[in-house]
Amino acid sequence: MKRKIALTIAGSDSGGGAGIQADLKTFQELGVYGMSAITAVTAQNTLGVDAVYPMSLDAIEKQIDAVATDIGTDAIKTGMLFDSAIIELVAEKIKQHNWKNIVVDPVMIAKGGASLLQKEAVVALKEHLIPLATVVTPNIPEAEVLTGLSIVTMEDRKEAAIMLHSIGAKYVVIKGGHGDGDDLVDLLYDGSVFYTIDSKRLNTKNTHGTGCTFAAAMAASLANGMSVRRSFETAKDFVYLAIKHNLNIGKGHGPTNHWAYAEEKAAAIQ
Ligand code: PXL
């Protein structure tokens, strides 16, 4: 059986719950062969980020080119890109290698408040990377920064989605996790139609890495040949189960359970 392949271009989380570690675990669980180009190394655990060490542009370019010249990829996921120089390099490389199925997770701030993206880089994200995105997957605070809107109502979310589509993302997902209340709505926009998935909020502090995991699950699903809508549904199921069966690891915001989706599928077959 020929496996599909995905590349994550993102930061490393030493605690294993977010960043490239979450991405590679998610790719694996969805049957996709995972590869990585590391943009920054973070020293962090479930209590927070202690330090951030961005990689040199040369090191990032060499990792991407090494993958491109030999292996290629069926999908890309971008996560923490740290500054505008890294964003411009990654955008240039995606164009140069003519890659498709690009999931852009516009990572900005870690759960504990540490900055994973310089303020100056927001413009580069909008000018260079989002226009290449098959799908961009902000949470509500990220969508606010990207659009300048204050997002309170569902109409605000839809307006933000329209704006992000107009700057070039083919599809826009606005994740509902940061909304208020017990009912959570994730929104997908394809440029003409809105599609939503409703779920109940799961009450736990162990949600570290959910954004990374969601975007990685979308990238793996696109690599597997699914439509964007089906990839959105799969990513939602994957993250919902990962939070529901979270591992309670560490003393702070613990990671989610990347095994849960495949384990539930296996149990359903028996
Ligand atoms: O979830 C955002 C994120 C992305 N990438 C890295 C991170 C985090 C959150 O902590 O550490 C490397």
Pocket test for ligand 1, best of 42, 77, 81, 258 (most atoms within 8 A of CB): 42
Q: Is 209 in the pocket of ligand 1 (CB under 6 A)?
A: yes
Residue 160 host element (H or E): helix 154-166
Do strands 75-78 and 48-54 pair parallel, antiparallel, or not at all (unpaired)?
Answer: unpaired
pLDDT of residue 1: 77
pLDDT of residue 111: 80
Please name the residue whose Cα sits nearest to atom 1 of ligand 1. 209
Distance 111 CA to ligand 1 centre (A): 8
pLDDT for 263 beyond 90: yes
Distance 86 CA to ligand 1 centre (A): 16
Structure tokens at 9: 């271009």
DSSP 18: S
pLDDT of residue 142: 96
Residue 107 CA to residue 110 CA, distance in Å, equals 8
pLDDT of residue 74: 98
Distance 116 CA to ligand 1 centre (A): 7
Catalytic: which of 15, 17, 34, 209?
209
Q: Is 15 in the pocket of ligand 1 (CB under 6 A)?
A: no
Residue 218 class from Cβ within 10 Å (0-12 exposed, 13-18 middle, 19+ buried)?
buried
Residues in the chain: 270
- pTM given for the model: 0.97
**Percentage of the residues of the chain whose pLDDT score is greater than 90:** 96
Q: Which residues contact 203 (CB under 8 A, 6 or more apart)?
A: none
**Partners of residue 13 on adjacent β-strands:** 42
Per-residue pLDDT tens digits for 183-227: 999 999 999 999 999 999 999 999 999 999 999 999 999 999 999
Query: Among this protein's residues, is 200 annotated catalytic?
Result: no
Q: Is 164 in the pocket of ligand 1 (CB under 6 A)?
A: no
pLDDT for 27 beyond 80: yes
Q: Is 80 in the pocket of ligand 1 (CB under 6 A)?
A: yes
Pocket test for ligand 1, best of 12, 13, 44 (most atoms within 8 A of CB): 13
pLDDT for 270 beyond 80: no
- pLDDT band for position 269 (cuts 50, 70, 90): confident
Query: Among this protein's residues, is 209 annotated catalytic?
Result: yes
Side by side, the strands of the sheet bearing 183-189 are 48-54, 33-45, 5-13, 75-78, 102-104, 135-136, 171-174, 183-189, 194-200
Catalytic: which of 26, 42, 137, 210?
210
Query: Among this protein's residues, is 175 annotated catalytic?
Result: yes
Please compute the mean of the pLDDT values over residues 60-81 and round it to a whole number: 98
pLDDT for 6 beyond 80: yes
pLDDT for 7 beyond 80: yes
Per-residue pLDDT tens digits for 72-123: 999 999 999 999 999 999 999 999 999 999 999 999 998 878 899 999 999 9
Per-residue pLDDT tens digits for 145-184: 999 999 999 999 999 999 999 999 999 999 999 998 899 9
Query: Among this protein's residues, is 113 annotated catalytic?
Result: no
pLDDT of residue 113: 83
Per-residue pLDDT tens digits for 36-51: 999 999 999 999 999 9
Catalytic: which of 212, 213, 236, 254?
212
Query: Among this protein's residues, is 252 annotated catalytic?
Result: no
Neighbours of 270 (CB within 10 A): 4
Q: Is 79 in the pocket of ligand 1 (CB under 6 A)?
A: yes
